[in-house]
């Protein structure tokens, strides 16, 4: 079955997180099967330095367990379920905490899937930039064409660029003159910005070789407004749903446009 037409690219923020527990193999697989090939997820390190997919440093929100992932070994976490019980109830109660290695095994070679791997500041602070980069880079060497390292942490991205040719994306904390100067110096492949931090409408986005990614699009109208602002890629936890809405809107507009 062919994929639906998409006029503008969408990114699945933490996978298809509106329908499946975020940062899980199930969420990544569901987004890709729905035709969204840009897949973003977060990475933390366990106490024994194993990269795992998790946004928070604590497991309290996703697993209902008041435990630090950075202070737990992978063996201690293997039985942990991250089905977001407060949101999904028992529907995904058996979903486990995946490792980065498991996520990479899910990545089809020579496909159009692209992983945007966010290195989280809690692990960078707990273990140091060099150690986190030491553990992540070797895992993605065989997938460099399909992986992008992203982070809020500017020095982390400098270290990644110093060590490898992997594509990088900087997630902006602020949209200001200082950040613009840093972006020009880093020259990342992608610049991520919270849609609420964008400048006033009518103000052009910084120009550069990078692609702009904005998050979190609430609905199709919001996504259209972001594209109109000059955003290249819109990120959403409901990316497959937005894709369907945008595709239907495009096809409807095409039918209503007279030929000749």
Which CATH architecture describes the domain 14-126? Alpha-Beta Barrel (3.20)
Dihedral angle computed from the Cα positions of residues 187, 147, 173 and 226, in that order, rounded to the nearest 10 degrees = 90
Give residue 260's pLDDT.
44
pLDDT band at 251 (very low <50, low <70, confident <90, very high): very low
Q: In this structure, what token pair is assigned to residue 61?
A: 């929100």
pTM: 0.92
Q: Read off the pLDDT of residues 27-59 as tens digits, 9 standing for 90 and up.
A: 999 999 999 999 999 999 999 999 999 999 999
**Average pLDDT in the 59-63 region?**
93
Answer whether residue 210 shows pLDDT above 80: yes
pLDDT band at 7 (very low <50, low <70, confident <90, very high): low
Q: State CA 174 to chain mean position distance.
A: 18
Question: Could you give the CA distance from residue 236 to residue 242 in angstroms, rounded to a whole number?
Answer: 8
Question: Could you give the CA distance from residue 120 to residue 130 in angstroms, rounded to a whole number?
Answer: 13
Q: Read off the pLDDT of residues 122-139 as tens digits, 9 standing for 90 and up.
A: 999 999 999 999 999 999
| Percent of the chain predicted with pLDDT > 90 | 83
Nearest to 189 by CA among 163, 175, 209: 209
Instruction: Tell me what the pLDDT averaged over the chain comes to.
Output: 92
Q: Read off the pLDDT of residues 117-176 as tens digits, 9 standing for 90 and up.
A: 999 999 999 999 999 999 999 999 999 999 999 999 999 999 999 999 999 999 999 999
Nearest to 245 by CA among 69, 91, 18, 22: 18
């Amino acid at each position: 079955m062919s994929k639906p037409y998409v006029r503008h690219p969408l990114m699945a923020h933490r996978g298809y997180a509106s329908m499946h527990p975020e940062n899980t193999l199930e969420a990544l697989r569901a987004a890709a099967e729905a035709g969204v090939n840009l897949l973003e997820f977060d990475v933390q390190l366990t106490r024994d330095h194993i990269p795992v997919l998790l946004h928070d440093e604590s497991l309290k929100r996703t697993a209902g367990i008041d435990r630090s992932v950075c202070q737990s070994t992978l063996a201690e976490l293997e039985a942990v379920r991250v089905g977001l019980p407060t949101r999904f109830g028992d529907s995904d109660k058996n979903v486990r905490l995946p490792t980065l290695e498991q996520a990479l095994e899910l990545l089809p070679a020579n496909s159009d899937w692209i992983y945007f791997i966010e290195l989280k500041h809690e692990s960078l602070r707990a273990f140091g930039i060099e150690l986190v980069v030491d553990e992540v880079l070797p895992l993605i060497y065989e997938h460099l064409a399909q992986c992008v390292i992203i982070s809020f942490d500017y020095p982390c991205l400098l270290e990644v660029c110093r060590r490898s040719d992997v594509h990088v994306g900087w997630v902006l904390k602020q949209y200001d003159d200082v950040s613009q100067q840093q972006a020009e110096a880093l020259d990342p492949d992608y610049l991520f910005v919270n849609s609420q931090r964008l400048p006033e409408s009518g103000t052009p986005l910084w120009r550069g070789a990078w692609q702009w990614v904005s998050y979190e699009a609430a609905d199709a109208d919001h996504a259209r407004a972001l594209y109109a602002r000059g955003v290249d890629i819109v990120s959403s936890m409901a990316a497959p749903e937005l894709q369907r809405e945008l595709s239907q809107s495009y096809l409807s507009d095409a039918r209503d446009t007279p030929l000749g």
